Structure 1
Amino acid sequence: MTSTKNSALNGTNLYERMGERTTQPFAVQLLDELEPLTDLSVIDVAAGTGGLAEAASERGASVLAVDLAPAMIERTGERLQKYPRSSARIMNFVALDMADGIYDVAISNFGILAYPTWKSGLDEMVRVVRPGGSIALTMWTNRDDCSPAHLLHRVFRQHFPNRDLWPPGLFPMFSPASLEEGLLEAGCVDVRAQTSEADWSPFSSVDVVDECDPMFRSFPGYAGLDDIERSNLQRTLKAAFDAYADVGGVIHLPTRAYMVVAKKA
């Protein structure tokens, strides 16, 4: 039991340190689209380690952050302790345990859209928001090297065209049109979908592959490589990252995500 808990905590720490560096810039952009947030009630669905929830609380919102993972919610709760009107709870995003229409805003930053059940999650987000309230979502474009993970995916396919890096359907394919359609079907109006960009740089451009290695091991295809396969892949991976380096050798990867904001009818 202790080993399982420690593993969960290590995964949470890794996500906060590495994962949030790719997702948090889009959380900030999404919150900018929703301003002013002062005194609004916000539910952050599939909140992860709480980066968006903390940022929204800093802007004056009262936030409930929900996620299925106990370790994620424990960490989010720690980060929200300094905001008396914000809290975190374990909750399934396809069955939110709360009444209809009680929130001003429902947000999911790279959350529900990462699952095949996203339409059920979207229905729940819309259900718990008041008429006229806002729904906001982000998801990777899945085009080109839109995130460090997608750059790895491209290189992985070059080396192992008959293997999967991650389970099929892990990152469902979207377009602005399909996202708009989904929100309209869920009962939203005034849907605005756009492609947003943010700059991602590793802590050390020289050691970018070693830095990303613990995060990439969460993908089954990468974790299952033997030493020789991983070494060969990493050489190509380093060259792919270096293609985004500036004249000083610092890597700047232009990450891209769809960002969509709508109103509940």
Structure 2
Amino acid sequence: MTEKKHENPAHWDDAAATYERTAHPFTAQFAEEALARVTLTPDMRVLDVAAGTGALTLAAARSGAYVLATDFSPGMVARIAAAKLPNVDAEVMDGQALDLPDASFDIAFSVFGVIMFPDWRKGLSEMARVTKPGGLGVLATWQSEGAATFLLLSQIRRRLFPKLDGKTKLPEGAVALGDPEWLSAAMVDAGFQPPEIDVVVHDFALGISQLDTPDELFGMSPDWVALDDAQRTEVVAEVRRMAEGRAILPIPSTALIAVARR
């Protein structure tokens, strides 16, 4: 089986700086939504699976709880560790095979992480395994065609180039767990009780000035990589048209946030 770019830690190592600058502030909004649905206290142990640059971890740490951030990308983990928070540890770890004891955390989170795993079912079952009985699993997933620039590019590509062969496929987990019924069933199969699921929408604020360096803005999206130079020029022009002279183009992005008892 051919490894996809998002399954390679080196890809995320290379993208860590850009991710922290562009995606982190956006995903932090959804991390705050996830935290608003639980109660953290200083005596709790919290796990963040596929933590990225730590949007959830850094917000959860404000509660005084101990937080362990895990990610398979050393570059992402290094950025969390750089915060040097006394109640946070950051470790390189595969979320599909967590090197952690059973029932060792009060709450396990994954904010747009498990949905990217090649074996997302194993990622969910690992979250359940390390959560204490009576503890909570909290999962954030994207609906529709993803979010932010990924969603925008998918929509524009379909509109401008309808004859292109197919469309870039999202990871299997992102598709499956973007459906509330599938998400609920998957969490139950993993070992959680049926979750409560909320639909949450936040805008990604795309600064039109960022179009001056479109490869940096869109480079993480397979929809961008698949286009030739002329098509990319058309995409940039279309985004400017959509902005209608505004400095910021809001991209409404929809997530599901599921909270389930272990």
Q: TM-score by structure 2 length?
A: 0.86
Question: Which residue identity is paired with 1:130?
Answer: K
Query: Does structure 2 conserve the Cα–Cα contact (< 8 Å) formed by 1:152 and 1:237?
Result: no
Aligned-pair CA distance for 1:34: 1.2
Does 2:132 match 1:130?
yes
How many residue pairs are counted as aligned between the two chains?
A: 251
Query: Does structure 2 conserve the Cα–Cα contact (< 8 Å) formed by 1:37 and 1:56?
Result: no
Aligned-pair CA distance for 1:128: 0.3
Distance change in 2, residues 1:150/1:77 (3 Å): same
Q: In structure 1, what is the equivalent of residue 61 of structure 2?
A: 57
Distance change in 2, residues 1:212/1:19 (3 Å): farther
Which secondary structure does the structure 2 equivalent of 1:55 belong to? Answer: helix
Aligned-pair CA distance for 1:193: 0.7
Query: Does structure 2 conserve the Cα–Cα contact (< 8 Å) formed by 1:209 and 1:234?
Result: yes
Aligned-pair CA distance for 1:254: 2.3
Aligned-pair CA distance for 1:86: 1.3
Question: Which residue identity is paired with 1:12?
Answer: A
Query: Does structure 1 conserve the Cα–Cα contact (< 8 Å) formed by 2:153 and 2:224?
Result: no
Q: In structure 2, what is the equivalent of residue 251 of structure 1?
A: 249
Question: Please, which of 89, 95, 98 is the counterpart of residue 97 of structure 2?
Answer: 95
Aligned-pair CA distance for 1:6: 10
Question: Which residue identity is paired with 1:117?
Answer: D
Indicate the larger mover: 146-155 or 5-14: 5-14
Q: In structure 2, what is the equivalent of residue 110 of structure 1?
A: 112
Which secondary structure does the structure 1 equivalent of 2:51 belong to? Answer: coil
Which secondary structure does the structure 2 equivalent of 1:89 belong to? Answer: strand
Question: Please, which of 22, 27, 30 is the counterpart of residue 26 of structure 2?
Answer: 22
Deviations 1:171-217 (A, max 9, x none): 32421111111111122125101111123223x3x425336641411
Query: Does structure 2 conserve the Cα–Cα contact (< 8 Å) formed by 1:147 and 1:256?
Result: no
Q: TM-score by structure 1 length?
A: 0.85
Question: Which residue identity is paired with 1:256?
Answer: T
Query: Does structure 1 conserve the Cα–Cα contact (< 8 Å) formed by 2:154 and 2:223?
Result: no
Aligned-pair CA distance for 1:89: 0.5
Q: In structure 2, what is the equivalent of residue 230 of structure 1?
A: 232
Q: In structure 2, what is the equivalent of residue 193 of structure 1?
A: 197
Deviations 1:198-253 (A, max 9, x none): 23223x3x42533664141122341343322211121123334x27x8xx764333
Q: In structure 2, what is the equivalent of residue 33 of structure 1?
A: 37
Which secondary structure does the structure 2 equivalent of 1:172 belong to? Answer: helix
Aligned-pair CA distance for 1:117: 1.4
Q: In structure 1, what is the equivalent of residue 175 of structure 2?
A: 172
Deviations 1:1-48 (A, max 9, x none): xxxx99865521100011113211000110111123432101100011
Query: Does structure 2 conserve the Cα–Cα contact (< 8 Å) formed by 1:166 and 1:219?
Result: no
Unpaired stretches in structure 1, ≥5 consecutive residues:
none
Query: Does structure 2 conserve the Cα–Cα contact (< 8 Å) formed by 1:66 and 1:90?
Result: yes
Aligned-pair CA distance for 1:166: 4.0
Which secondary structure does the structure 1 equivalent of 2:249 belong to? Answer: coil
Question: Which residue identity is paired with 2:148?
Answer: S
Does 2:187 match 1:183?
yes
Q: In structure 2, what is the equivalent of residue 120 of structure 1?
A: 122
Aligned-pair CA distance for 1:160: 3.1
Indicate the larger mover: 154-163 or 251-260: 154-163
Which secondary structure does the structure 2 equivalent of 1:31 belong to? Answer: helix
